[in-house]
Each structure stands twice: as C-alpha cells, then as structure tokens.
A and B are shown apart, each in its own frame.
Chain A
C-alpha cells in the first residue's frame, strides 16, 4: 500500500495554473525525491500532501485517507522551507509546543523531545532561545519539530538549504535511519547531487512530472552519467515538443 498517492492533481490560484496533472506514489520505508527548479510546483505539491492546500482536481490519498484529513495529519511530519520556529522561545519550548499540537503530552512528550534532540544533536542547546541559534541549528531544530511525533509520513521541503556539507551528510544519515523504521520520506530539492541519494525520484517542471524512477533507471534510460544531465535532457525535450 502506498503511503502517499497523487492521481492527476491540478491546482490553480486565480488564473494561474500551478499544478497540471501531477501523479506520484511513495512507498513506506524509502526516501523519495522531488526534483525541480524553483517555481516548478514542488512546494505546492508538498502543501497538498500535507493538507494545507486542497487540490482543485484529482485524488490525494495519504495513509489511506483522502486529503485534507485531520486523521492523516496526525501521522504526517512537515518541515517547511522556512524554519517556522518561535525565535522568542527556547528550543525545548518550541518542541513542547509542537508536540502538544500533535496531541503528545506528559512523559511521552518528554521522551520524544529527548530522542529528537539527541537525533539532531542539539541536546546541549535546548534551553537556549532560538534567536541565539545559528542557521544550521535552527534547521536541525525544525527537523526535530517535524519528527517529534514519530510520523509515518515525513515531508521535507528543501531541508538542507543553507547547511554546510558536514551537517548535510549527517542529516542524510539520519533520514536513512528514519526511513528504515518504515517511514515514508518525501524530500524536495533542487540540488542534483542530493537527488542521487534518493531511492526514487520524480522530476518536476512547470507543474508537471517530466520523469520518474530510481536514479539508476533514469540515468540508464536517457543514457546520461548524472541526474543533472537527465534533468537538462528532459527539460530541452519538453521545450522542443512545445515548438
């Protein structure tokens, strides 16, 4: 059973059509990459999966619930492009708040906060105000806020933007660990080398999926050496097709 399934999803804001028939399915226990330039509709797709936006046309099912659904939202973790943290609270207070939003409380909440802080290696800084955090620390705390309630579906919108390579590698290592517990992870990126780390990839452009498969499949199919080449190839093909 797919953890996330989108079928022919359209959405428009006013006259602007942002998604023009997006279909994709994400299995539990893997990292699925959504690759595309900015403005291609990645974030909109993600927001529809999370339940913030509603598709104008098409079917969105997450954890066997038609979105938007409060039942499914309980088991979705979301890390937005912005850090979305309360700067005038401490790291600990931020996590306590978001935990309560997912219905965690008492000992359970305490344990989950401890585990999440350990996971992102921020235990020592939990009592500090977030406004005193560095950019990388904020990003890690935002990740902790997304995994706090042990979600079955984890959506990460450009999680490694502005993060140094060392930290990026450790975050990826963490993501693999989370995926091994059976969590379905969907990650958006426009960094090509990150795309290679995903188990499956969908390439997006102008509100459409232009290619889908494992990185190896894609490279082999288009006869390219890197994902970047595949993406460029697909983009030019589309342009030619339009002319």
Chain B
C-alpha cells in the first residue's frame, strides 16, 4: 500500500509541476465542450413561430421572450408552406377562442401545433413552450370566468396554484404533429452527452497513455522495475494518482456543462459526477494498456484512429442498424453516453445506470489485468 501511495503521490506532484498537462486536463475539455455546444446550439437564437387565428393573449405571451418572433398567416395551408420552406420552426392554429375567453365553454379551445422535426432539441423545446403557453392561456380564461357571476362553479382555480394541479383537459385539446420527424436522431442533448463523454475519454486516454509511455522512454520504468515493486502496484499506483486528477476533472466538467452551459438536466448533478468518475477509469486503464503495448509515441498516436475515433461513431451519435449497434456495445463510450443520457434527459437516478457502470468497470478490470500481464514483457517477475 505504501508503494501505491508513493507512486500516486509522485504522479500528482509531477502534474503539479507541469502546467501544460494541467491545462490539457482542466481547461481543454471546457474549451472543446464549449465549442461543441456553440456549434450544436446554432448561431441564430431567434425562433420564428407562425400563427393562424391566434388570440392576442397568446402572441403577447410568446413575444415576451425576446428570441421569439411571431409571423401571422391567413390560412393553415399558407402556414404549412412557410413551415415547409423553413421560414418558421413551428406553426400554431387556435380555434374556439376569442376576446380572451372561450367561444363556447362547453367545447373548449383547440390548439393545432405543427413543428419542424429537423431542428432537433429546438423543436422539442418549442413544443414544450407552446404547450405551456396554451395551458396558461386557458388557465387565465378560466380565472376570468370564475370571477364572473355565471361562472361554472365546478372550476374555481386558485390563481396561485400550480397549473398542473388543475385538470385542463375539458377545456383544452392540443394536437401536435411533426413535419419530417427525425427529432429522435439529432437532439442536441443526446449529442451533447456523448460528446462530453468523448472529450473526457479522449483527454484522459492521451494523458495516461503519454505519461506511462514517458515513464518507459525515460528509463524510469526500468529503474522502477529494478525495485521490489510489484507489477500490479505500478498499475494501481497510476490509477490512484491519475484518479485524483480525473475526479477533479469530472466534477469541473459536470458543473460547467450543467451550471454554465445549461444543458438539459433532469437528474441529479451528483449522479452525473459519479458517472463521469466511473467513466474516466476506462480511458485511464486503456491508455496505460496501449502505451505498454506500444513501442513508441508514434505507435501510441496510431492507436487514436483505431481505438478512439470509432467510439464516437458507434456510441449513440447516429441511429445505427441493429448489427452496428451491437458492434457499438464493444466500446466503453457507448455505456458512458447511455448512462449520461438517462440522467440528463430522462431524469433517471443512478439505479437505472447500474448496468452501464458495471460494464464500464468490467472493461476497466479487463484493461488492468491485461496491463499487468503485458508488463511481464518488461520484467519477468
């Protein structure tokens, strides 16, 4: 244990004296993730929504958001043409509503919403936004009604109550449809989770691999192997030393992505940090393993297109056929992305990701034991 502690302490001290590596560890991922975020978010923040027969209450409510621009169309057909030409991202038609109240309270109001499915998460968030707007519009109308003497006494919503507490279904029907619906493939958040996992994977892999390779190239590994340290102590010392740093990195990346960039986050931030930490053990052990196998820095670089790049393609960025999806399960990143998505998007707890985390740990264990075996090539005991 003392040797493992001394070894991890040494790695930690080495990193402290090496500001370049520190920058790569902590600053580079944030820069890369910000770039990815900027690219995927798109440059134009204004969202155009086409409306047909929309009451003033609704358009005013929507226009409160500076990024939303309302375009009015005379007929549903014209609006659809505009949607097709991508002039607008969504179109809404409201029937059964005039002058801030229902035309016929017994029928209620009907919302027809059609969205451009190719805009990924933006379409999804606009759909949410329109639904919220329709809810509050109907709520307001109901409140107004209840203040009047001939109000339907069945509904007296408390103005402070949460909208969800009131059953609006008798008064509101919302029909949502998508034009060219491919939103399942391309939502920003799905990309986001995979890419965050990838950035962290790539950087930890490179650093662990390069440091271990440097140990060999500088002759210090041989010196180390001439001491009575056991091979597994070397590997675990490295994991512990780098582990401290990657835990820090995981926390920083998670906080940055969630608090600063504001990625869709429905789960718990602690779960995200735990997933990130477990995920970094994989590139750490894989990086060391491959640098043990590599004979030079150049060979280490050659491993990148072979080992790292395919992970990006097969870990959930694209909709794959069943066979390729099975192939993707050979890559650790697939499980990282899956677990992150579960917590970020679906708001699941850690218990839903246990299998993913388990598979990641199995990968790591495999890499570690292979590495201990391969080190035998360097010393026969």
A residues at B contact (CB < 8 Å): 47, 50-54, 68-71, 73-74, 76, 78, 80-89, 93, 96-98, 100-103, 105, 129, 145
Task: Please state if A100 and B2 are interface contacts (CB–CB under 8 Å).
Answer: yes
In contact, A73 and B228 (Cβ under 8 angstroms): yes
Report the bound CA distance from A53 to B380 in whole Å.
Answer: 6
Complex CA gap A84/B379 in Å reads 16
Q: What's the Cα separation between A80 and B244 when bound, in Å?
A: 31
Say which residue of B2, B218, B228, B229 sits within 8 Å of A87 (CB atoms): B218
A89 and B225 form a contact (CB under 8 A):
no
10 more A-B contacts (CB under 8 A) besides A52-B222, A82-B222, A97-B6? A80-B223, A86-B10, A89-B17, A93-B10, A96-B6, A97-B9, A97-B10, A100-B2, A101-B3, A145-B223
Q: Given A83-B219, A84-B218, A85-B220, does the pair A100, B381 have CB atoms closer than 8 Å?
A: no
The winner among A52, A54, A76, A93 for most chain B CB atoms within 10 A is A52
B interface list, Cβ under 8 A from A: 2-3, 5-7, 9-10, 13-14, 17-18, 218-220, 222-230, 378-381
Which residue on B lies nearest to A130, using beta carbons? B17
Task: Give B380's nearest chain A residue, CB to CB.
Answer: A54
A100 and B18 within 8 A (CB)? no
Identify 5 residue pairs between A and B in the complex whose beta-carbon atoms are under 8 Å apart, listed by A's number: A53-B380, A68-B379, A88-B18, A98-B223, A101-B7
**What chain B residues lie within 8 Å of A80 (beta carbons)?**
219, 222-223, 226
In-complex Cβ contact of A101 among B222, B229, B380 (8 A): B229
The answer to whether B228 touches A84 (Cβ under 8 A) is no
Q: How far is the CB of B152 from chain A (nearest CB, A)?
A: 77
The reply to whether B226 and A78 contact each other, CB–CB distance below 8 Å, is yes
Determine the chain A residues whose CB is within 8 A of the CB of B13 once the complex forms: 89, 93
- Please give me the residue from chain B that is nearest to A102 by CB atom: B227
Residue pair A73, B2 in contact (C-beta under 8 Å): no
**B219 pairs with A105, CB closer than 8 A:** no
Do the beta carbons of A76 and B226 come within 8 Å of each other? yes
Q: State in angstroms the CA–CA spacing of A97 and B11 once bound together.
A: 10
Residue of A nearest to B6 (CB): A100
Known contacts being A51-B379, A70-B228, A102-B227, is A129 close to B222, with CB within 8 Å? no
A51 in contact with B226 (CB, 8 Å): yes
Enumerate chain A residues within 8 angstroms of B17, measured Cβ to Cβ.
88-89, 129
The distance in angstroms between the C-alpha atoms of A145 and B223, with both chains bound, is: 10
Task: Compute how far the CA of A145 lies from the CA of B230 in the bound complex, rounded to whole angstroms.
Answer: 19
